[in-house]
Amino acid sequence: MKGTLHMKPTSPIRKEKLKHGIFITFEGVEGAGKTTQVQRLAAALGPDVVLTREPGGTPIAERIRHIFLTSDGITTMTELLLLAAARAQHVNELIRPALAANKIVICDRFIDATVAYQGYRGGIDLALIHQLNRVVTGGLTPDLTFILDLPPEIGLQRKQRGETHRDRLEREPLDRHRKVRKGYLSAAKADPDRVKLIDAAQSADTVHTAILTEYHKYLSQ
């Protein structure tokens, strides 16, 4: 796949896009294959890529991630505020400078995760989430988002196959995971230009090909 995409840098369209960097995010329920696909896309796109994740991506934001993932009894509002703090640090310290340096930033989860998890799953007002996101990102939104869509029970099975430890969110009832999926499906419907829904029940190779196809479509717009 590497070779295929390396044909692109000479394209005037791609050069134009790279003047501003490209911000790509991956989303989906647990075990949907985000980490797998983020790594495959990064390998295909080559040295211009900066790979990162949320919550996390910088030393301070990674410390917040640890609190977020390990604190049993945390309220959804506290989750939201921790995520917002981590995002403010991440956007300012890593994402914006990388985009200014014309990099392709690929981020494993971003603002759509907050809508899906803290909004649809957690019941926090969506308008508040959007407003907070605007404040902490300074209005930065991804150029392209891939939602890897999968029934949550399949994602959880995939994860549990290789793991003995289940984190706080993975242990939640299936109903909460279904709400997350519903949130992601709504995001895809609301913003089809930015958000591309990918059937993540397919093989990892097929999913990767679908992602590359959408990426090329984006470049040629």
Residues near ligand Z5A (CB under 6 A)? 28, 30-36, 54-55, 83, 109, 113-114, 117-118, 158-159, 162, 167, 169-170, 203-204, 207
Amino acid at 55: P
Nearer CB in complex with ligand Z5A: 108/215: 108
Alpha helices, DSSP H only, in the chain? 2-6, 12-18, 34-45, 59-70, 76-90, 96-100, 111-114, 126-137, 152-162, 174-190, 204-219
Q: Which of 51, 37, 43, 52 is nearest to 209 (CA)?
A: 37
Nearer CB in complex with ligand Z5A: 11/35: 35
Nearer CB in complex with ligand Z5A: 17/121: 121
Q: Name the minimum Å distance from CB 163 to ligand Z5A.
A: 8
Nearer CB in complex with ligand Z5A: 21/119: 119
CA angle (185 as vertex; 61, 172 as ends), nearest 5: 60
| 195-199 β-sheet, strand order | 49-53, 104-108, 22-28, 144-149, 195-199
Q: Name the minimum Å distance from CB 69 to ligand Z5A.
A: 6
Q: Name the minimum Å distance from CB 115 to ligand Z5A.
A: 8
Q: Name the minimum Å distance from CB 15 to ligand Z5A.
A: 31
CB 180 within 8 A of CB 117: yes
CB 39 within 8 A of CB 108: no
Alpha carbon distance 49, 32 (integer Å): 22
Q: Name the minimum Å distance from CB 159 to ligand Z5A.
A: 5
Q: Name the minimum Å distance from CB 208 to ligand Z5A.
A: 9
Alpha carbon distance 75, 77 (integer Å): 5
Nearer CB in complex with ligand Z5A: 14/159: 159
CA distances from 176 to 58, 74, 79 (A): 29, 16, 15
Nearer CB in complex with ligand Z5A: 8/38: 38
